Structure 1
Amino acid sequence: MSAHSPTLRLDGRNADGLREITLNYEGLDRVDGSARFGFGETKALASVSGPIEVRPNLELPSQATLDIHIRPVAAISGTDSKALAATLKAILTPALLLARHPRTLIQVVGQALCGSDTGSGIGSAGRGWNASLTASLVNASSAALLNAGSVPMRGVVCAVSVGRIASGNEKEALLVLDPAEAELPRLSGSGCFAFLFSSVLPITSLNEADIPPCSLLWTNYSATTPFNESELHRARTLAERGAQVVWGKLKESVAWMEASSTGKGTQPKRERAGQQQEQFPESESEVDDNKMEI
């Protein structure tokens, strides 16, 4: 992230700064893979089961059935949760090789672990899910799929959120990466950006040497006041840089899982103070390199 962005945020971050990223592989019982992902206090948990037997009414003859459920931090799943589940299904489907396991079921369950400060993630009808929590759910789902290693993948989906702070004295609104819940009242717009990272995609101008190309799969960026194509492009560019950081954390976690499964690896050292840190707890899951790209 650039060191020249102005420091105007409540927590002292630069406009293009992410909060501390945490990633834990939970090892939940009776699922094939599970992971907890968070930007700061905005955390989500996801589990993956499959391929498993599918009910006849859900069976697809040419590919696996992808079934996604989203659970709020409190209460029962409502309209907002079901709408977000449909969105995550659309986001994750391009990353999965579902034709490899026809007539089976792959089930992803996402659980919000925050959101009480904004109404997002607590099952309140019409309150929606804030963009950062949506991004955490996407990343937790991707990490759980990597942890399972049982679902063939053509790439990995990474997501971040972008917020918009309007200013009447500036020609352009200030865009900030990964807004925290405390920053939401200041925003005049926000959105989640989800990218597919895969080596089969064409290289873009933003592509780093050690990071595969990515393409934008989905965004719900919107604002309370009109914005133009230039602003949307700036938001996408900012989000892509943030998504590359998330991809790097997922790659590090996969490398650690591989080393852990052979008994030759040690937990990665934490980065220097002031930089983002990740957590990779012990896991017995193995990762099949032939089934996924990262």
Structure 2
Amino acid sequence: MRTDGRKASELREISIVYERLDRVDGSARFGFGETKSLASVSGPIEVRANLELPSQATLDIHIRPLASISGTDSKALSATLKGILSPALLLSHHPRTLVQIVGQALCGTDSGSGMGSVGRGWSANLIASLVNASSAALISASSVPMRGIVCAVAVGRLPSESALKLVLDPSEAEMPRLSGGGCFAFLFSVVLSSASSSTQEVPPCSLLWTNYTTNTPFDEAELKRARELAEGGAREVWKILKESISTMDASHASTIQKTRAEPEAMEEVPSHAEDSDDAKMEI
């Protein structure tokens, strides 16, 4: 049993909220328990001449820590996320434009979760949260053609006397005890080869990126087990992302309904006020 009572292959509670921030095409907040992040998508929009690409859209990603300004580690993470998300986007459909993604950490601890240069880097579970928040924001925007959906989870390695113990989605309390771990990002798409494991509910997936490391010599069998554990967790994330689309549409419909109702209510007030003034003038 883990410190929070979860099984080794069990994720923390996942939360997805489509924020609908102003001046962006899509935005979403994603969290594994207390590990949360926010992402927004703008584009395709006009791009500066020095960043313009003649054959595809320019993908620009910025990551902001919870505290202080973005440092070298935040910029390195931005480059990593660009490499993770690029295979999922059909950037060639909008050449000479810009697609901009901004990620913001919504948590911060001494372990480095979102503290940027102030802490000790970025934790694997927060990187996974940022990847999933970016995917949710892209779904919310619906303005950038996508080849598939990228889902990510973290896997940690807990010291055990009997045997190696790998756990999915380590919590903040478990992180100081880890002797290894990393983030695994998978691309889910129907265009992938059916040779990869898939079910009727979930499309095939392929591993895009991982930074799994340990403080012991490399063990291929351990990495394989960690990947299998992460793939199962990523499938659960994909299912929850799919289910969240219905809530996004319902929220959007209620927003439109409220916006349309407000002008009608405003129109009734001047009409009533005019009648009152006329009545007073007659008296």
CA deviation digits over 1:33-73, x for unaligned, max 9?
Answer: 00000000000000000000000000000000000000000
Does 2:222 correspond to 1:226?
no
Deviation at 1:207, TM superposition (A): 1.6
Q: Relative contact order (alpha carbons < 8 A, sep ≥ 6): 1 or 2 greater?
A: 1
Alignment of 1:9-158 (within 5 A): 9-124=2-117, 127-158=120-151
1:250 matches 2:241: yes
Residue pairs, 1:259-274, within 5 angstroms: 263=253
1:224, CA displacement in angstroms? 1.1
CA deviation map 1:3-54 (0-9, x unaligned):
xxxxx21000000000000000001010000000000000000000000000
Amino acid corresponding to residue 237 of structure 1 in structure 2: E
- Structure-1 separation of matches of 2:27 and 2:192: 27
Q: CA deviation at 1:205?
A: 5.7
* Distance in 1 separating the partners of 2:17 and 2:246: 14
Q: Distance in 2 between matches of 1:185 and 1:227?
A: 21
Give the counterpart letter for 2:177 in structure 1.
R
TM-score, with structure 2 as normaliser: 0.87
Residue 115 of structure 1, CA deviation: 2.4
Shift of 1:169: 3.0
Measured in 2, the distance between the counterparts of 1:168 and 1:253 equals 41
Alignment check: 8 A CA contact 1:79 1:125 kept: no
Give 1:283 deviation, angstroms: 6.2
The number of residues matched between the two structures is 256
Contact 1:196/1:216, CA 8 A, preserved across alignment: yes
Q: Distance in 2 between matches of 1:132 and 1:33?
A: 23
Amino acid at match of 2:73: D
CA distance in 2, matches of 1:128, 1:109: 18
SS at 2:116's partner residue?
coil
After the TM superposition, which of the residue ranges 120-129 and 147-156 deviates more from structure 2?
120-129
CA distance in 2, matches of 1:255, 1:150: 18
Question: Relative to 1, partners in 2 of residues 1:126 and 1:75: Cα closer, same or farther, differing over 3 Å?
Answer: closer
Q: CA deviation at 1:123?
A: 2.0
The alignment's C-alpha RMSD in Å is: 1.5
Q: Check the 8 A contact 1:25/1:283 in 2, yes or no.
A: no
Displacement of 1:256:
3.5
Identity of aligned residues (%): 71
Given that 2:110 and 2:120 are in contact with CA atoms closer than 8 Å, whether structure 1 keeps it comes out as no
Amino acid at match of 2:67: A
Tell me how far apart the structure 2 counterparts of residues 256 and 121 of structure 1 sit (CA, whole Å): 28
SS class of match (1:243) = helix
Select the structure of larger CA radius of gyration. 2
Counterpart secondary structure, 1:231: helix
Report the 3-state secondary structure (helix = DSSP H, G, I; strand = E; otherwise coil) of the residue aligned with 2:82: helix
Q: Which runs of 5+ in 2 are unaligned?
A: 257-283
Question: CA contact under 8 A between 2:37 and 2:129: conserved in structure 1?
Answer: yes
Residue identity opposite 2:183 in structure 1: C
C-alpha displacement at 1:257, in angstroms?
Answer: 3.2
Q: Which amino acid aligns with 1:229?
A: E
TM-score, reference length from structure 1: 0.84
Alpha-carbon spacing, 1:259–1:114, altered in 2? closer, same or farther (3 Å): closer
1:185-221, CA deviations, whole angstroms, 9 ceiling, x for partnerless residues? 1110010000000001123464222110000000000
Equivalent position of 2:154 in the other structure: 161
Q: Indicate the structure with greater helix content.
A: 2
Paired letter, 1:101: H
- Distance (whole Å) between structure 1 residues aligned to residue 255 and residue 143 of structure 2: 15
One-letter amino acid of the counterpart of residue 228, structure 1? D
